[in-house]
Chains A and B, each alone.
Chain A
Amino acid sequence: MVETPTVRRTGKAVPPDQLKPKFIIDKLNLWFTDAHILKDVTFNIPEKHVTAIMGPSGCGKSTLLRTLNRMHDLNPDCKITGSVKLRGTEIFNPEVDINDLRKDVGMVFQRPNPFPKSIFENVAYGMRIHGERAHKVVEQRVEEALRDANLWNEVKDKLHQSAFELSGGQQQRLCIARALAIKPDVILLDEPASALDPISTSRLEELIEELEGRYTVVIVTHNLQQAARVSQYTAFLMLGELVEFGITDEIFTAPSDERTENYLRGIFG
């Protein structure tokens, strides 16, 4: 037995292969110029659960996450082979509208990155670019999104102040509200707590747990405790290879691969 962080979640989790998959990732390979970053990554991300991608720095976990909403399209040096299907549709298919894909697959980044606009306008931004003009609708959905992000009570009296006046933790929850406001199916979180203090981090983790069941959440983290606390399923990545994927509790208590066990023991990472 390895010493593991406490797993908060109880109750029996269903093995991932018995769940409806949101993403089907098949033999995904990715290169930046000559560096082979992802190697034959194959697994399914189950729908409406929280899946953590963990692994040591540089293992390709953020790269994998950014593949899911095609953020690598911005990088001309990036080459991808293999397949990623979202609800059965190949996302690399040239006929897929990348803006529609990103509307369905929202993303929150490592560092809070609100726009230099008011709190209200930050959350309304996504609706506006997707053509929502009715002020009533926008107003209502801004409130909804801020409530869902556990931020409403803190900001309801200063919606029209600059988003930069919020604390780092609040800014990050604002970014989640901004992503939720366009009603995505999937939310990708790229080490969302890495720039936050412990209290802000725990509030953020509470929020992530609340998103479970309503959204498919994929969170990248190098923090083992965090992966254990917030996720039901964990993918463990090392040097670009998927070492194992399964129920978080099982990965933490009985890893099937020696490399996972060593990582959990803190031998590397």
Chain B
Amino acid sequence: MFGLCGLSVVVVFGMLLLIIVFIVIEGAGVISWDFLTEMPRDGMTAGGIMPALVGTLLLAVGAIIFALPLGVLAAIYLNEYSREGKLRRWIRMGINSLAGVPSVVFGLFGLALFVNLLDFGMSLLAGSLTLGLLVLPIIIRATEEALKTIPMSFREASLAMGATRWQTTIKVVLPAALGQILTGVILAIGRAAGETAPILFTAAVFYMRVLRVGLMEQVMALPYHIYALMTEGIHPEEQEAMAYGTALVLMVLVLLINGVAIWMRIRSRKIKKW
């Protein structure tokens, strides 16, 4: 049995390594400073991916700006205010189900609500809101986990001094939980940066001649750019090389973001003394 388990680990780890090596080999050829800083040219067979890189960063940040306050406040409600019972179980179940909804469904929902009903059109705003919904469960769960690690004795001490629950949460509990919450937030940024389906109908355009940045502007995005390079256009071979280059950039970006999260988790564990 031990051998089988060991083998599984080797397979899993090998696959991860294989993906990285494969992408690096296929994509490294087109990587250059210009690739990161230029607009795409010549039917996407030359030039760079700058607008897609900018778009992905904007979408990820926009998603967090929307999801962070909402998610943290929801987690505070669940952990600090609500009492154990049916309602709380239902809410938790709802959040878990939200996490299980396929991302393309989020995309359709975003199209219906933000693009059409609220009339935001295909835009950075609509895409950010859709991605924000997608990462909401991650942020709620991370915040709840963080709040749970804060000892009751801190809350008791604060309440016993005549602090309200809200003061206790804002001045004692949240600051103590901040490191862990940020870790969750950064993982959510990584997730938002890598998603394609939610922005497919809500924000992404596969080509723009000049970079326009604005809440109501459409954006290019790295994952969608890969999809476009592989399915559209009339120079499949040159485009494929560009797609692998883009994939490499996206992968490095997400790994970097996750690396920051891991580093922060280790750091907050070291600082914590209670």
A residues engaging B (CB < 8 A)?
Answer: 69, 71, 74, 76, 98-103, 106-107, 109, 111, 113-117, 125-126, 128-130, 162, 164, 175, 178-179, 182
B235-274 residues with Cβ-Cβ distance < 8 A to A are 272-274
Contact present for B274 and A99 (CB under 8 Å): no
How many angstroms from the CA of A71 to the CA of B155 in the assembled complex? 11
Contact present for A106 and B273 (CB under 8 Å): no
Q: Closest approach, in angstroms, between the C-beta of A171 and any C-beta of chain B?
A: 11
Contact present for B157 and A115 (CB under 8 Å): yes
Contact present for A115 and B273 (CB under 8 Å): no
How many angstroms from the CA of A130 to the CA of B158 in the assembled complex? 12
Q: Closest approach, in angstroms, between the C-beta of B73 and any C-beta of chain A?
A: 20
Total interface residues in chain B, CB < 8 Å: 21
Contact present for B162 and A130 (CB under 8 Å): yes
Interface string of B151-166 (1 = CB under 8 A from A): 1011011111111100
Please choose the segment from B42-50, B90-98, B137-145, B168-176 that sits at the chain A interface, where 4 or more of its residues have CB less than 8 A away: B168-176
Please tell me if B116 contacts chain A, counting CB pairs below 8 Å: no
* B residues in contact with A117, CB < 8 Å: 175
Contact present for B159 and A102 (CB under 8 Å): yes
How many angstroms from the CA of A115 to the CA of B274 in the assembled complex? 10
Q: Closest approach, in angstroms, between the C-beta of A159 and any C-beta of chain B?
A: 18
Contact present for B156 and A71 (CB under 8 Å): yes
Q: Closest approach, in angstroms, between the C-beta of A166 and any C-beta of chain B?
A: 11
Contact present for B158 and A125 (CB under 8 Å): yes
How many angstroms from the CA of A188 to the CA of B196 in the assembled complex? 59
Contact present for B153 and A116 (CB under 8 Å): no
B residues engaging A (CB < 8 A)?
Answer: 83, 151, 153-154, 156-164, 167, 171-172, 175-176, 272-274
Q: List 24 A-B contacts (CB under 8 A).
A: A74-B159, A99-B162, A99-B163, A99-B164, A102-B160, A102-B161, A106-B161, A113-B151, A113-B156, A113-B157, A115-B157, A115-B176, A116-B176, A116-B273, A125-B161, A129-B158, A129-B161, A129-B163, A129-B164, A164-B273, A164-B274, A178-B161, A179-B161, A182-B162
Contact present for B162 and A113 (CB under 8 Å): no
How many angstroms from the CA of A126 to the CA of B160 in the assembled complex? 10
How many angstroms from the CA of A128 to the CA of B167 in the assembled complex? 10
Q: Which residue of B lies closest to A127 (CB)?
A: B161
How many angstroms from the CA of A113 to the CA of B161 in the assembled complex? 13
* B residues in contact with A109, CB < 8 Å: 153, 156-157, 160
How many angstroms from the CA of A197 to the CA of B103 in the assembled complex? 58
Instruction: Select one of B160, B176, B272, B274 contacting A107, CB under 8 A.
Output: B160
* B residues in contact with A129, CB < 8 Å: 158, 161-164, 167, 171
Q: Which 9 A-B pairs have the closest CB atoms?
A: A103-B162, A102-B162, A113-B153, A107-B160, A99-B162, A164-B273, A126-B161, A129-B163, A113-B157
How many angstroms from the CA of A106 to the CA of B159 in the assembled complex? 10
Q: Which residue of A lies closest to B85 (CB)?
A: A76
How many angstroms from the CA of A195 to the CA of B242 in the assembled complex? 65
How many angstroms from the CA of A25 to the CA of B220 in the assembled complex? 71
How many angstroms from the CA of A117 to the CA of B274 in the assembled complex? 12
Q: Which residue of A lies closest to B156 (CB)?
A: A109
How many angstroms from the CA of A230 to the CA of B272 in the assembled complex? 36
Q: Which residue of B lies closest to A103 (CB)?
A: B162
Q: Closest approach, in angstroms, between the C-beta of A125 and any C-beta of chain B?
A: 7
